[in-house]
Chains A and B, each alone.
Chain A
Amino acid sequence: MDSRKELLNKIRELEFVIYDTGLYLNTHPTDQEALRHYHCHRELLEAAIDEYISCYGPLTMDSVLSKNKWTWIEKPWPWELEA
């Protein structure tokens, strides 16, 4: 697998951990262990996203770093086989 897809998978995993932990925290908002789990992955996700957008382009419309080209619309879009 190329390094872009590898990093994207890492982001996918970290986001899922945060989302799924958050879903649990919605009904257990004072669980300290879950909160620690959430926060340590939040930092990892932030770093992984920063690395991805500086190497491969934006993941959200407000993360376009290129100053001279609108890279938001560059292919592949997520539903394409190449993504």
Chain B
Amino acid sequence: MWIYEKKLQYPVKIRRPDPAAAKVIITQLGGPDGELAASMRYLSQRYSMPFKEVIGVLNDIGTEELAHLEMISAIVHQLTRNMTIEQIKEAGFDTYFVDHTAGIYPQAASGTPFSAKFFQSKGDAITDLVEDMAAEQKARTTYDNILRLVDDPDIKEPIKFLREREIVHFQRFGEALRIVQDNLDSRNFYAFNPEFDRPRR
């Protein structure tokens, strides 16, 4: 189970509201490579994973992604404080505003709502971990693109922290994949799915 800790993993203090920035950053909340999909992906995959080290990686990164979800939400919230209708229109934030006002809703930058279609839980250790590694790189690219689009250091600092975590997670998933492969037949990794097949006596 989870217990809520009343703090962010890394502080978010954005002095200047910027709905145009919020409009793109929200993609890391509910977009295809966002933190919600990441968290649900890893937390869903851990149940049938047979290796304790890999369970640990999925459990703990899945949990950390929940903290990242909260950071992204805090960033979007602070970027959309005290907006005037003129600022909303000027920033092109009106399409979000009409449906959600200044509330936080998990969607991609395009406006597409969050969907479980953004991730898999395949029940095959190699398949899932390869998806996880790709997912971390896709999120890293998204953060790099966000850093290309924003100038405010108040926004950039927490985004740079989140970007860095994607790289650390990629490393840990790579190690987890190695652990899985070390437990399989090196002549044919695919002969046996350790999440389903049972060894012969």
Contacts and interface: CB of A to CB of B under 8 A. Distances in A.
Interface of A: 60-61, 72-75, 77-79
Chain B binding surface SS class:
helix
A73 B56 contact: yes
Nearest to B59: A77
B10 interface: no
5 contacts: A61-B60, A73-B52, A73-B53, A77-B46, A78-B1
A77 B60 contact: no
Nearest to A70: B56
Give the interface size class of chain B.
10 to 19
A74 B60 contact: no
Contact of B56 (A60, A72, A78): A72
Chain A binding surface SS class:
loop
The 6 closest A-B pairs by CB, nearest first: A73-B56, A73-B52, A79-B47, A75-B52, A77-B55, A73-B53
Nearest to A74: B52
